[in-house]
Amino acid sequence: MPYMTRANGEGSEPRRRKDGLYQSNYTMYVDDVLKLKSVYACTKDLSAGASCGRQSPRGMAASVDTKNLTIRSYLETWLIDSVKGSVKIRTYEHHHWCMYRRIVPWLSAQLATF
């Protein structure tokens, strides 16, 4: 069976400690600082499930006002709600820079030609 690695942000495989508990680690941002958090449980499944539940919600949909929706407002909402908590700060800053310097002006110019 091939060795399966976990995806970025999924935490570690639960390990059994000397006292019989299982420990699983994951990283998350607390006040814009990356922190390593540990979860302890009496079974391997509980430890893995607890660490997955405490990570940033990637699958949750962002609420968007469709009446006053612009490309800029949609991208701002996407950047804050979907990207900010799930990537490193430097990656978020790069996405922010690309959005305001490249994507929004280019899309505005493209839509102005229609």
For the chain, the structural domain boundaries read: 15-53, 71-112
pLDDT at residue 97 in the model: 92
The per-residue pLDDT string of the chain (114 residues; one tens digit each, 9 = 90 and over) reads: 555 565 555 566 788 889 988 888 877 767 767 777 888 888 888 777 765 555 544 444 445 566 777 778 888 888 887 787 777 888 888 999 998 898 888 887 777 665
Q: Residue 66: CA atoms inside 13 Å, Cβ hemisphere, count? A: 0
Q: What is the pLDDT of residue 7?
A: 59
pTM attached to this predicted model: 0.46
Q: How far is CA 27 from the centre of its chain?
A: 11
Residues 6+ apart with CB under 8 A from 81: 60, 62
